[in-house]
Amino acid sequence: MAAINTGSFRPLRLPPGVDLRGELEARAQEDEKDCGFIISGIGSLDSPKLRFAGRSDGVVLPGPYEVITMAGTVTGDGAHLHLVVADAEGHTLGGHLCHGSRVRTTMEMLLLCPEGWQLGRERDAATGHLELTISPSPPRHPPLPGSPG
């Protein structure tokens, strides 16, 4: 596979009450510019829902939690996001972010959108999960002089 040499960084901030994963997926479905790699994410969630390793269902963590870090991929076909949260005592837990995890005060993220590549998700026969697919984007040629665009 060829290396990703260029890309654009997109800072994102989500306000209180927004379903974090749902909002990122909705944005990616609406605009491929919002597909990419979350390389940094901090903020807070109210009663986040995480799926821990080897489990099929998510667990709701009651109360406010600080997001210590979040990373993953967001495509028009879905997201794969890992995060670490801390409770009021500073105890941390990490896992897969599930739908229904609402922003408490803010979520601040940096998204890297690779140029020349199209990200998606397809069911993988070996894992049974929707896994990341990476393919070259069709070339974008500038319009010819005199053409309508």
Nearest Cα neighbor of 23 from 101, 89, 85 is: 101
pTM: predicted TM-score of the whole model, two decimal places: 0.81
Is 112 within 8 Å of 9 (Cβ atoms)?
Answer: yes
**Sole residue written with tokens 């990490």:** 94
The answer, yes or no, to whether residue 138 has pLDDT greater than 90, is no
Instruction: Tell me the mean pLDDT in the region 130-138.
Output: 76
Class of domain 8-136: alpha beta
Q: Is residue 68 scored above 60 in pLDDT?
A: yes
- At 112 the three-state DSSP class reads strand
Confidence of residue 97 (pLDDT cuts 50, 70, 90): very high
Which residues does 23 contact at the CB level (< 8 Å), separation at least 6? Answer: 14
Let me know if 40 is exposed, middle or buried by CB neighbors in 10 A (0-12, 13-18, 19+): middle
Rounded to an integer, the average pLDDT of 111-123 is: 83
pLDDT band at 45 (very low <50, low <70, confident <90, very high): very high
pLDDT of residue 7: 83
C-alpha–C-alpha distance, residues 149 and 145, integer Å? 9
Nearest to 80 by CA among 117, 27, 134, 120: 120
Query: Are the beta carbons of 97 and 80 closer than 8 angstroms?
Result: no
The pLDDT of residue 71:
97
User: Over the chain, what is the mean pLDDT?
Assistant: 88
